[in-house]
Amino acid sequence: MTTYEADAWAALGDRTRRTIFTRLTRRPCAVGELARELPVSRPAVSQHLKVLKDAGLVTDRPDGNRRIYRVNPDGLEALRADLDQFWGSALTGFKQTVERPEEELR
């Protein structure tokens, strides 16, 4: 049996999940609200939310007989940290290139 570790970047690799995540950045929503705005079924939205939740990108809380989903700030911060690491590496490389003597660049 293979174990699957949820990865936030992999979870966002699906267009529908990105759309759901984007909508949740605007405001918390229940599954039914999200499903009304998407061309997929309510059960499909629930499955996408489970993937996002397992990846740490969303949280949920009960509200009567439904669950309200919202963006998990900790998951978003982890994505930001990844991007900052990539951006930092890119800037370091750019700085090294710019500071090389012109003779080395030819």
39 in a domain, yes or no?
A: yes
- CATH number of residue 82's parent domain: 1.10.10.10
Residue 26 lies in a domain: yes
Separation between Cα atoms, residue 62 and residue 17, nearest integer Å = 21
In a domain, 1, yes or no: no
- Is residue 81 one of the residues assigned to a domain? yes
Q: Is residue 2 part of a domain?
A: no
Please report whether residue 71 resides in a domain.
yes
Tens of pLDDT, residue by residue over 74-84, are 999 999 988 88
Condensed to tens digits (0 to 9), the pLDDT of residues 43-94 reads 999 999 999 999 999 999 999 999 999 999 999 999 998 888 888 887 888 8
Residue with tokens 């699906």: 14
Q: Residue 38's domain spans which residues?
A: 8-105
Burial of 15 (0-12, 13-18, 19+ CB in 10 A): exposed
Taking the complete model, does pTM exceed 0.85, yes or no?
Answer: no
Residue 31 lies in a domain: yes
The DSSP call for residue 49 is H
**What distance in Å separates the CA atoms of residue 33 and residue 67, rounded to the nearest whole number?**
11
